[in-house]
Structure 1
Amino acid sequence: MKIVKLPITLLFALIFGLSFLFSCTENEETVIQETEETEETPVTLNNEINEFVWAGLNEVYLWQQDVPDLADDKFTTFNDYYTFLNGYNTPESLFNDLLYQIDVVDRFSYIVDDYVALENSFQGTSNSNGLDFQLVRLSGSDDIFGYIRYVANNSDAASKDINRGEFFLTVDDQQLTVNNYIDLLFGSNNTYTLGMANITNNSIALNGKTVELTKTEFTENPILINKVIETSGVKIGYLMYNGFVANFDTELNNAIADLKSQSINELVLDLRYNPGGSVRSAINLSSMITGQFANEVFSTEVWNNRYQEYFETNDPEYLINRFTSELSNGTTINSLNLNKVYILTTDGSASASELVINCLRPYIDVIQIGTATTGKYTASITLYDSPNYGRDDANPNHTYAMQPLVLKSANKNGDTDYYEGLTPDYTITYETGSGIAEGENLLNLGTLGDENEVFLAKAISLITGATSKFTDTKSKAGIAIKSIADTKDFTPLGKGMYKNLEQPFK
């Protein structure tokens, strides 16, 4: 048997003639199409989705050349091919087995069985009650609890008596544990009741308060707070932006216009809970912060060997993302023309958030405050089970889609591979009974947007030169905890980015 590949120029014409969503990846197709006659008994393929998984990863996966089971010459007959695919009971098990050093090198490729939910997440829409929380456990305990990071505007949670800094210990009267929290909080139950709690002397206990929340199809505006703080004769813009959602680029542009109209001198960009999203939105935001670098190189892309060679030979400009002066709808971008920006981060700042930081650094002073970011410099695209992996003509027998990593991003200077995350210039710490911890102090979260909130207070002190007592690590002792997960880990997009294809290949 021989493997027949589509000519790459034809493949691109098929793929990029479509207008579908990319999740910071790209898509292509390699399929086994032709077989030589043989007398052996033909093997029947048990699951057509498995063939979609192998063919898609073989074609466009970033580390295709490093995975022996994805090699172009892996199979010599269809019987070999189908026998291999039939060795996996589920598409998920095959997908995971084909990833390159899963959870070590490749920590972010994934497969979904409902691409409609995935597409909705790209638009900021998910089944949600609007509560954003982190799940942690106290040292030495299997019991876990949650603390509220923020409440999304205009959500079900926003209409209830629940606020940032509160704790919950039970769901529907069941104690949260490492074994049940997924079912209780992210399962099929759209309505649940949280048992709220207090922490005293490193011990957490129910306080008698309960809050019932209901999930609906909810579209979260990623612009949580946009305000101006005047202090020490300086006007400081503060923007808390919780997701790079392309549908809200106009609102983002308007938010920047509002800050500009108030003649701000400095900008504090709060990305501490921002897991990423649209690459185009990241470019737009970076262009809004600056404005003086239109058409300069924002980022460059590196693909697998097959595609890198093709792009470099046929369309090297495709590998370059540039600063822009307008949104995709032609609206002029409102730019602040700043030469410095203060960005607040945690380990929940990922993907497009890191892209903004890394790609602005060659051009302006980026003062990063908080803790190290996630470390996601790679990007994925959505692959559907169709002749060209696009949304049109997707196989009607299922709704599986893949989100494999297909490229890694670098800034103008070639800086990439920040696997351990981007290290802050100023690390936020607090004291616990067992030493110094990094990040947010659960017992002193403060109010987002308030100039006394620890992260923001540090930025303000750097801007004004005034020391604030709220930046003192000893201002309030905290507790030692271990992070388990956060709300955004359970959205279809997760900590990823996507990009719209704006022009097909010639």
Structure 2
Amino acid sequence: MDDNTSFSNSEVKDFVWKGMNAVYLYKAEIPDLANDRFNSNEEYNDYLNSFATPEALFESLKYLPESVDRFSRIVDNYFDLQNQQQGITLSNGIEFNFERIAPGSDELYCAITLVLNNSVASDLGLQRGQIFRAVDGIDINVNNAVALLSQNSYTLNFADYDDNDTPQIDDDTINLNGNSVTLSQEEYTENPVHIAQTITLEDNTKVGYLMYNQFNSSFNNALNNAFGDFQAEGIDELVLDLRYNGGGSVQTAAYLGSMVTGQFTGQVYSKLFYNENLQDNNEDFLFTNSIAGGGSINSLNLSKVYVLTTNLRTASASELVINSLSPYIDVVVIGENTVGKTQASITIYDSPNLAFEDVNPNHTYAMQPLVANSTNVNDELVPSSGLTPNIGLSETLNNLGTLGDVNEPLLAAAIAYIMGMGRVSYNTTSIDIDRSVKIQLNTNPFEQDMFLD
């Protein structure tokens, strides 16, 4: 058994180096990936054996992993990866954000930001905005949050937020209220079209509102059908809610841009540029009037779109949509700076052509390395610092509102802009940078991928 494991690890390490050498976007920046790095097979094998695990080798080959390549990944079970890319995961149906109990405190509370449709959480009646500050009876803090909330099953202990009827936050309290619920993960397939509805304003302006949570090619027709409904209802404006959309298929992103517009068919939507050894793979994605194998696209022919964003979750293909539409139409971004991911990845396997055919049966490792950079038609990248909103507005955990409701703060800001009220002043006294904390553990680890089908 040990000999077989050792043999398998050697094969995996060989796959890691050769795969990264072949396709990695930043190959030129990594001396160990140079084609002439090794003078002999013995030197090559000694190099591979100097790493304890395939993962250690992979991490050593990433370019500036803290700032540039934050996204390339290796997995030891490609079946899980394939499921995740199709929206099939183990999930209890909630997403949430953290905030400190008080400025500078290590104690945390959480607010549910999203309850997935037809999930364990929705069946239990959980709702966006519910607050909890303990799990399994243990108060949450910066040190135990990951362990407590990464379990397959846990009990949320709910709390009430009390602002003590003052606008200041230094006297706010979050107290346990005795209510709790136990959640367990189940296999779940998310339809990324979370909400699609038409809102009629006082002046009879019809606003389409779409909350879209992943660029999943398996649901291209569901997305197109939502635009078909908008088309039939004669909407005048569109609010595209991408605040929890970390990306997905580049081609689906091109379809979405074509649904928003329709007047640019055949023109360049976005471009992909590969490393210097793969320039023949460079590709333009075009505005189109049809989905491959799925019929005609339902286009709205809009000249303006409103996009809602957040800093932790709006990434990659979501940013591509904003960046790629901006040269053609007016894109009004409302929310926070986006994540700042401009690169696309592809899944590669241990096979002669790195595709999922004739794959090595001795292991189930696969890699999802960055392989290309995405720009818009004007060759503009999404900055690594993210895209800056036209109207800056953060979600506040004690006032999240109901998604799709005209009073939900981000949607309300879009509606105010549509109604000609411009940059309305909002009460943001509950936002305090000293209380914010970034812990991202309840999302799909591949959520911020932009990948090629």
Q: TM-score, normalised by structure 1?
A: 0.83
- CA distance in 2 between partners of 1:477 and 1:171 (Å): 24
- Aligned to 1:47, the other structure's residue is in SS state helix
Distance across 1 between alignment mates of 2:99 and 2:16: 35
Per the TM alignment, residue 192 of structure 1 is displaced from its structure 2 partner at its CA by: 1.5
Structure-to-structure mapping, 1:63-462, within 5 angstroms: 63-138=26-101, 139-187=103-151, 190-200=152-162, 201-231=171-201, 232-308=203-279, 310-311=280-281, 318-347=282-311, 348-428=313-393, 439-462=394-417
Partner of 1:305: helix, strand, or coil?
Answer: coil
Q: Output one character per residue of 1:192-250: Cα deviation in whole Å (capped at 9) or x when no partner.
A: 21111223334433221101112111001111111111112211111111111111110
Match of 1:473 among 421, 426, 436: 426
TM-superposed CA distance for 1:46, in Å, is 6.0
Counterpart amino acid of 1:211?
V
8 Å contact from structure 1 (residues 130, 220) kept in 2 = no
Deviation at 1:486, TM superposition (A): 3.4
1:180 and 1:399 map into 2 onto residues whose CA distance is: 31
Where 1:56 maps in the other structure, the secondary structure is: helix
Cα deviation digits, residues 5-64 of structure 1 (max 9, x gap): xxxxxxxxxxxxxxxxxxxxxxxxxxxxxxxxxxxxxxx996321111111111110010
SS of alignment partner, residue 407 of structure 1: strand
Shift of 1:492: 4.0
User: What one-letter code is carried by the residue in structure 2 that aligns with 1:464?
Assistant: M
Structure 2 CA distance for partners of 1:422 and 1:192, relative to 1, 3 Å? same
Q: Provide the rounded CA distance (Å) in 1 between the counterparts of 2:391 and 2:121.
A: 33
5+ residue gaps, structure 1, are: 1-43, 312-317, 429-438, 501-506
| 2:146/2:441 contact within 8 Å kept | no
Shift in CA distance, 92/281, structure 1 to aligned 2, threshold 3 Å = same
CA, structure 1 residues 487+157, in 2 after alignment: closer, same or farther (shift >3 Å)?
Answer: farther
Output the amino acid matched with 1:207: N
Cα separation, 1, equivalents of 2:131 and 2:331: 33
Q: What is the CA deviation profile of residues 102-156 of structure 1, one whole-angstrom value per residue up to 9, with x for unaligned ones?
A: 1111111111112111111111110001111123434312233321111011111
- The answer to whether the 8 A contact 1:155-1:218 is kept is yes
SS of aligned partner of 2:45: helix
Asked if the contact 1:282–1:352 (Cα under 8 Å) also holds between the matched residues in 2, the reply is yes
Native 8 Å contact 1:226 1:255 kept in 2:
yes
For residues 156-215 of structure 1, the C-alpha deviation after alignment (integer angstroms, 9 at most, x for no partner) is: 10011321111122222223233333332224xx22211112233344332211011121
The superposition leaves residues 235-289 of structure 1 with CA deviations (integer Å, 9 ceiling, x where unpaired) of 1111111111111110111111111111110001110111001111111111000
Verify the 8 A CA contact 2:227 2:299 in the aligned structure 1: yes
- Structure 1 position 487, deviation (Å): 5.1
Say which SS state the counterpart of residue 335 (structure 1) adopts.
Answer: coil
CA distance in 1, matches of 2:367, 2:122: 34
What amino acid sits opposite 1:307 in the alignment? L
SS of corresponding position for 1:483:
coil
The residue type equivalent to 1:304 in the other structure is N
Paired AA for residue 257 in structure 1: G
Question: In structure 2, how many angstroms separate the alpha carbons of the residues matched to 1:417 and 1:255?
Answer: 27
Partner-residue secondary structure (3-state), 2:270: strand
User: Does structure 2 retain, via aligned residues, the 8 Å contact 1:136–1:485?
Assistant: no
Report the secondary structure of 1:269's partner residue: strand
Deviation, structure 1 residue 465: 1.5
Q: 2:439 aligns with which of 462, 485, 498?
A: 485
SS at 1:75 equivalent = coil
TM-score, normalising length: structure 2: 0.92
The gaps in structure 2 that reach 5 residues or longer are 1-6, 163-170
Q: Which amino acid is 1:171 matched to? A: V
* Residues 168 and 196, structure 1, Cα contact 8 Å, conserved in 2: yes
Contact 2:337 2:389 in 1 (8 A): yes
SS in 2 for 1:338: coil
Report the Cα distance in structure 1 between the residues aligned to 2:22 and 2:428, rounded to whole angstroms.
55
Quick one: which of 45, 55, 68 aligns to 2:18? Answer: 55
Hey, what's the Cα distance between the residues in 1 that align with 2:411 and 2:451? 29
Which digits, 9 at most, give the CA deviation of each residue in 1:414-462, with x for residues without a partner? 101511101111111xxxxxxxxxx111121111111111111111111
Q: Distance in 2 between matches of 1:136 and 1:49?
A: 41
RMSD over aligned Cα atoms? 1.8
Is the CA contact (8 Å cut-off) linking 1:202 and 1:479 kept in structure 2? no
Q: CA deviation at 1:330?
A: 3.8
Alignment-mate amino acid for residue 454 of structure 1:
P
| SS across alignment from 2:389 | coil
1:256, 1:335 within 8 Å by CA — same for their partners in 2? yes
The amino acid of 2:439's aligned partner reads A
Which secondary structure state, in structure 2, belongs to the residue aligned with residue 248 of structure 1?
A: helix
Alpha-carbon separation, structure 2, partners of 1:392 and 1:153:
35
Equivalent pairs, count: 435
Asked if 2 retains the 8 angstrom alpha-carbon contact of 1:61 and 1:304, the reply is: yes
In structure 2, the residue matched to 1:436 is none
Distance 2:420 2:354 in 1: 54
Q: Which has the higher contact order (CA 8 A, sep 6+)?
A: 1
SS in 2 for 1:353: helix
**Identity, % of aligned pairs?**
47
